[in-house]
Structure 1
Amino acid sequence: MRSSSWAVVVWSVLGMGVAALTRADCPDPVGRWPVAVQAVAAAGTTAYLGSGSTLIVLDVSNPATPSAMGSTVVPATIDRIAVSGSFAYVAADSAGLRVLDVSDPAHPVEVGHADGLASDVAVSGTYVYVFDSGGLSISDVSNPASPVRVGSWHGPFAPLSPGRVVVSGEFAYVGGQDDLGWALYAVRVSDPAHPVAVGSYRGPTERGHPVLTDLALAGNLLFATEAGYSEVYETTSMDVLDVSNPASPTWLGGYGHSYSPSGYAVATSGPSVFLAYSSQLDVIGIADPRNPVLTSAQPLNAGVAPAAIAVAGHRVLVADREGGLYLFDDSACGASGCSLACTPVVPASAVAGAPVAFLGGFLQGGCTGTPTFDWDFGDGSAHSSEQNPSHAYPFGGAFRWSVAVTLAGASCATSGTISVASSLAPISAPGAYAYVVPTSAHKPGYNGTNWVTDLVLTNPGLTDTVARVYFIKGGRDNTGSPARPVIVPLRRSLRLSDVVASTFSESSASGAILVGSDVPLIVTSRTYNDALAGTYGQFVPGIPLGQAVGPATTAWLTGLSQSASDTLGFRTNIGVVNAGAQHVQVQIALYGGDGFFLGSKSVDLNPYDFQQVDKVFAGLAASGVDDGYAVVSSATPGAVLFAYASVIDNGTGDPIAVPASVPPTVP
C-alpha cells in the first residue's frame, strides 16, 4: 500500500467548482481484473462477478492478484447478484432468477430457478426479492433447489423496464421508471404473500427524464443514483432520502456532477458512500446527510460505465463493464480519524402525554471510545444525553427535534419534525370512524369462570394513526370516560392484552369498548374464560357506530339455549349497550324455538352505559330453552343501541358469541 499523501483536486459539483483535499490512498487502488464485468457481489475474500452470462467466482484474498476459482454459464445476461451462505442468487434478465450453489467455488452449479424477468435481486432470510417486469416478485428459497414464488407487488412502472430493489427488515424499497422519470416505493414485506406499498417518493422531474441506476441503504438513509438523458439538464447523481418513516420517504439532500449519460453505481460502508461513474470513484461523507461532502476520489483509468459496487470488509470492488473490475482498499479512509453519520429513528406522530421512543442510531468508521448524545426534543424541555431516550410531550403541536453525536473528536447532527396530537376527543366525538365492541371483561363469573378480553386494532391504511379507546363500564354514566390514546402503525395489528385491566386499570369490571379513529380500522376482540386447563373464548368484532339499532329497528339474537340445570348444558347471557348521550330504555322480548312468547326484560341504560342480563331465561321455562331467540328494541327517540348474546357451556365455561341480526325490511 502506498504511503499517505495529499492532493488538491477540483471537482464540478452541481455546476460549482469545489476544491477538496483528498487522500491519494483513500481508497487505495490495489488491483484490477481486466475482464468485462457488469455485476459484482462479495462475501469475505470471495467476489462473484457477472461477465455477460458467465458467473465467475474470484478469490480476492490478495486483491493485488485476484484469481478465478471457477465459473458457470446461465441462460441470459447477468444483471445483478446477491449472495447468502452457500448460494448465489442471480438476476439473469430474460432468464429470471437463477440459484447457484457456490459451496465449491471451483465448481459453481445451478440448482434452481424461477422463470420470468429479473433486473435486480436482494436476499433476506429465506426470501429472495426480484425486480421483475414492472415490480417486485418474492420467492421462498428455504429450499434453494426449488424456489417458490409466494407473492408479488407491481407498481406503475413502464413495462419491461429495469428497476432496483433493496431490503431492510420488513420493507423492500423498489425503484423503477414510469412516464415522468423514476419513482421509489416502500413496500411492506412482513407478510411475503401479501406485499403492500405504504409510501413513495418521486425523483424530481425538473431534472429532465432521469433514469434510476442504483439504490443503497445505510441505517435509515437510502441513496438513489440516477443518470440523465440530455446535456441540457444538470443532473444530481445521488439523492439522499430519509426512510425512517417508510410511509413518507423524505428527500434530505443531493450530491452530483453535471450530465453523465453512463450512469452511476452506489454502495455504503459505515459513514461513507462510494459513488462510481464514468471516470472516477468518489468517497462521500454523510455526517450531515443534508449536505453530502466529497472526502476523497480515485480515477477509474479505463472507466467506461460503472454498473455495480460491492463492499466486503475493507475491499471495495467496482464493476466497470468493459473497463473490468477495479479493486480498492478503504483501510486508509479512516486512518485520518473518526467519521460519523447520524441515522436516528423517531416516529412521525405522537400523542401529548404519551411516551415517545427516540432511537439514536449512527454509523461510524475509524472510531474508538463511547459516543455522547445530545437530544433536543424541541419543546423547551431539558436535553437528554441518553442514546435512546423516552420523552412525553406535555402539549400538542409540531416540534423540531434534533440530535448530535460526538465520538473520538468527530461529530454528526441531524433533525426532524414530530407531530403531536394536542388533545383527545370526548366519548361523544370519538372521530370520523368509530366502532363498538359490545362486551369485554376482567372479572370472575359464574361456575368459577374468569373472564378476560383481548382487543386487537388493525390499521389497513397507509399512515400511522392514533386510536382513541374508551371504556363503557357497566352500570354507570360514562359520558366523562377518558380516551386512552393508542398509536396503531400502518399495516400493523396491535393487541391490547387483557385490555380492561391493562389499558383501563379496572381490577373487576365488565363493559363495552368504544374505539375512535380518524382513519378506518379493523377492530376485533376475544373474550375468554382463562381457566387452568386453557382458555375458552368467543370472537366479538367491533361494530361500526353507524350500524347501531335505532328506535325504528329491532335486533334479533337467535340460537339461544338455557338448560334447567345450572351445572349441565348451557346458559345464555344478553348484553345491551347505549352508545349515545341520553338515557335509553330497552326491551328484551324472549321466545322459545317454537315462537312461543316466554316473557320480557326491561333494562334502563345511562348515557354511554352497558348492562348484561345473566341467565336471561331463568324462571321463564322450567324445562329449559333450546333454539330460543330474543328481540331487542328501544322506543327512546335517538337511541344508539347495540346488543349481543353469549351461550356458555355450564361445564367448561366455553362461550359462543351471538351477534345481533337486523331483519331486512319487508317491502
Structure 2
Amino acid sequence: MDLAPYSNNQINRVFRDYPPVNGYVDVWADSEEAIYYCYGSMLDNATSDPTTILPQVPSDDVTFIPAAALAAGLEGAFFETDIDLNNVGSTDLTYELLWLPRGEDNSDPVSSETFSLAAGAGVRYANVLDEVFGLDPDMVGALAIEASGMDLLAMSRTYNLPSAKVAGTFGQELPGIPADRMIPTGVKKRIIFMNENDDVRSNVGCISGAATEVAVQIELYDSDGVKLETKYMMLPPYSNRQINGIFQDYAPVNGYVDVRTYTPDALIYCYGSVLDNVTSDPTTVLPQ
C-alpha cells in the first residue's frame, strides 16, 4: 500500500482470494522516518456490522480478556464470545484459559486443559465459554490466559445474536490486555463517547488483575465537563463487574467517565460499551 503524504487507504476483503480462512496480517513500513497506523475491520456479511481489530504487540505471559458472555442481555439480545489467539514468536508455546465469573473471588479459577500453539500459528475458539469450558447460559465474566512465554496475542469478539429481528450478528472487539499494560494504582484513564438516550445505552466494565479486593472509582461527567456522580465498583480477587446503563439517571446525555483505583498494588482495566437500543449492536470504547 503506497500512501501519499498524510494520506490513507483501505484494502477491502484482504483475504478474498483464500476463503474460507482464518488468518492474520503483519504490517510494517520500509520508508525512512515513516509514521503510520493500521487497523483491521471484520464485517458480518448479513448485517455489515464492522468489528474493529487494532494492532497489538505482546508483552507478558498473562493476558486478560475483560469480558466474555454466553447470556441474554437487554432488549432481547443474546451474547456469545469468540476469541482468537496467535503465537508471534519463533518457538511453540503452551497456554491455559482461565474462567473468571463476574463478581466472584477468582483466586482459584477453573482452568482449561493445556493447549499448544506452533510458532506463527493462530487458533479461533467460537463461543469459547461453551467450546472450552462447557458452560450453559446464562454466564458472564472474563478470561485470563496463562502462557509459557510472552509471544501470545489475544483478541475477542462478543456479539449479539438478534433472534428474529435480523439475520447475522452485531459485535464488538475487546483486545487481550497483557498484565503489564493494565492500569496501576493511582493512574486515571478516561472513557469517552458515552451516551444515554432513546437510541443508545452505555455500560462500563472493569476487571482486576490483583490477588486482593480492589475498589474502582468511576466519575461520571457530562459533555460540558460537569461532574454528575461518583460510583464505586468493588472487585474481589481477579474478578470483574459491569455497570449497565451507567448514565441512565441523567438521560438524555452525552458524557464520559474517569476511572482509577487507589487500592495499593492494584491492577485494573476498564472499558466502555455503547449499545444500540434496537439491535443491541455494541461499540467498544477503550480507555485513553
The TM-score range, normalised by the shorter chain, is 0.7 to 0.9
Q: In the alignment, is the contact (CA less than 8 A) between 2:60 and 2:178 conserved in 1?
A: no
Q: Does 1:529 align with 2:145?
A: no
Q: Deviations over 1:329-374 (max 9, x none)?
A: xxxxxxxxxxxxxxxxxxxxxxxxxxxxxxxxxxxxxxxxxxxxxx
Provide the TM-score with structure 1 as the length reference. Answer: 0.33
Distance in 1 (CA, whole Å) between partners of 2:87 and 2:169 is 27
Q: CA deviation at 1:602?
A: 1.0
Distance in 2 (CA, whole Å) between partners of 1:625 and 1:471 is 35
What is the SS of the residue equivalent to 1:531? Answer: coil
Q: Deviations over 1:486-524 (max 9, x none)?
A: 222221110111112221222221111111212211110
Letter in 1 for 2:86: T
Aligned to 1:112: none
Q: Deviations over 1:19-48 (max 9, x none)?
A: xxxxxxxxxxxxxxxxxxxxxxxxxxxxxx
- Structure 2 matches for 1:296-375, cutoff 5 A? none
Aligned to 2:231: 601
Identity value in percent: 30
Distance in 2 (CA, whole Å) between partners of 1:495 and 1:530 is 19
Q: In the alignment, is the contact (CA less than 8 A) between 2:100 and 2:142 conserved in 1?
A: yes
Aligned to 1:487: 116
Distance in 2 (CA, whole Å) between partners of 1:562 and 1:492 is 41
Residue among 41, 53, 73 paired with 1:445: 73
Residue among 615, 618, 622 paired with 2:248: 618
Aligned to 2:106: 478
Distance in 1 (CA, whole Å) between partners of 2:200 and 2:235 is 27
Distance in 2 (CA, whole Å) between partners of 1:501 and 1:614 is 24
- Structure 2 matches for 1:631-650, cutoff 5 A? 631-650=258-277
Letter in 2 for 1:560: M
Q: In the alignment, is the contact (CA less than 8 A) between 1:579 and 1:641 conserved in 2?
A: yes
Q: Deviations over 1:422-448 (max 9, x none)?
A: xxxxxxxxx951111111111000000
- Structure 2 matches for 1:451-530, cutoff 5 A? 451-484=79-112, 485-507=114-136, 508-519=138-149, 520-530=151-161
Aligned to 2:191: 557
Distance in 2 (CA, whole Å) between partners of 1:609 and 1:505 is 20
Letter in 2 for 1:606: P
What is the SS of the residue equivalent to 1:500? Answer: helix
Return 5+ residue gaps in structure 2 as ranges: 1-21, 27-58
Q: Does 1:548 align with 2:179?
A: no
Q: Deviations over 1:368-419 (max 9, x none)?
A: xxxxxxxxxxxxxxxxxxxxxxxxxxxxxxxxxxxxxxxxxxxxxxxxxxxx
Aligned to 2:29: none
Q: In the alignment, is the contact (CA less than 8 A) between 1:432 and 1:518 conserved in 2?
A: no
Distance in 1 (CA, whole Å) between partners of 2:125 and 2:116 is 12
Return 5+ residue gaps in structure 1 as ranges: 1-189, 195-430, 662-667
Rg bigger for which structure?
1
Letter in 1 for 2:177: I
Q: In the alignment, is the contact (CA less than 8 A) between 2:60 and 2:179 conserved in 1?
A: no
Q: In the alignment, is the contact (CA less than 8 A) between 2:88 and 2:152 conserved in 1?
A: yes
Aligned to 1:234: none
Letter in 2 for 1:540: L
Distance in 2 (CA, whole Å) between partners of 1:652 and 1:597 is 30
Q: CA deviation at 1:646?
A: 0.4
How many residues are paired up? 228
Distance in 2 (CA, whole Å) between partners of 1:652 and 1:513 is 26
Distance in 2 (CA, whole Å) between partners of 1:493 and 1:582 is 33
Distance in 2 (CA, whole Å) between partners of 1:498 and 1:457 is 14
Q: Deviations over 1:39-80 (max 9, x none)?
A: xxxxxxxxxxxxxxxxxxxxxxxxxxxxxxxxxxxxxxxxxx
Q: CA deviation at 1:562?
A: 0.9
Distance in 2 (CA, whole Å) between partners of 1:505 and 1:610 is 20
Distance in 2 (CA, whole Å) between partners of 1:445 and 1:501 is 17
Provide the TM-score with structure 2 as the length reference. Answer: 0.75
Letter in 2 for 1:599: E
Letter in 1 for 2:82: D
- Structure 2 matches for 1:187-226, cutoff 5 A? none
Q: Deviations over 1:601-637 (max 9, x none)?
A: 1111100111010000121x1x4112x1101111110
Q: CA deviation at 1:648?
A: 0.3
Distance in 1 (CA, whole Å) between partners of 2:212 and 2:243 is 21
- Structure 2 matches for 1:84-483, cutoff 5 A? 433-483=61-111
Q: In the alignment, is the contact (CA less than 8 A) between 1:575 and 1:613 conserved in 2?
A: yes
Higher RCO, 1 vs 2 (CA within 8 Å, ≥6 residues apart): 2
What is the SS of the residue equivalent to 2:237? Answer: coil
Q: In the alignment, is the contact (CA less than 8 A) between 1:589 and 1:630 conserved in 2?
A: yes
Q: Does 1:629 align with 2:256?
A: yes
* Structure with greater strand share of residues: 1
Q: In the alignment, is the contact (CA less than 8 A) between 2:202 and 2:274 conserved in 1?
A: yes
Distance in 2 (CA, whole Å) between partners of 1:511 and 1:530 is 18
Aligned to 1:160: none
Distance in 2 (CA, whole Å) between partners of 1:603 and 1:482 is 24
What is the SS of the residue equivalent to 1:651? Answer: coil
Aligned to 2:217: 587
Aligned to 1:539: 173
Aligned to 1:252: none
What is the SS of the residue equivalent to 1:522? Answer: strand
RMSD value over aligned CA atoms? 1.9
Structure 1 residue ranges, 4+ long, deviating more than 4 angstroms after superposition: none
Q: In the alignment, is the contact (CA less than 8 A) between 1:432 and 1:516 conserved in 2?
A: no
Distance in 1 (CA, whole Å) between partners of 2:153 and 2:242 is 25
- Structure 2 matches for 1:65-76, cutoff 5 A? none
Q: In the alignment, is the contact (CA less than 8 A) between 1:588 and 1:601 conserved in 2?
A: yes
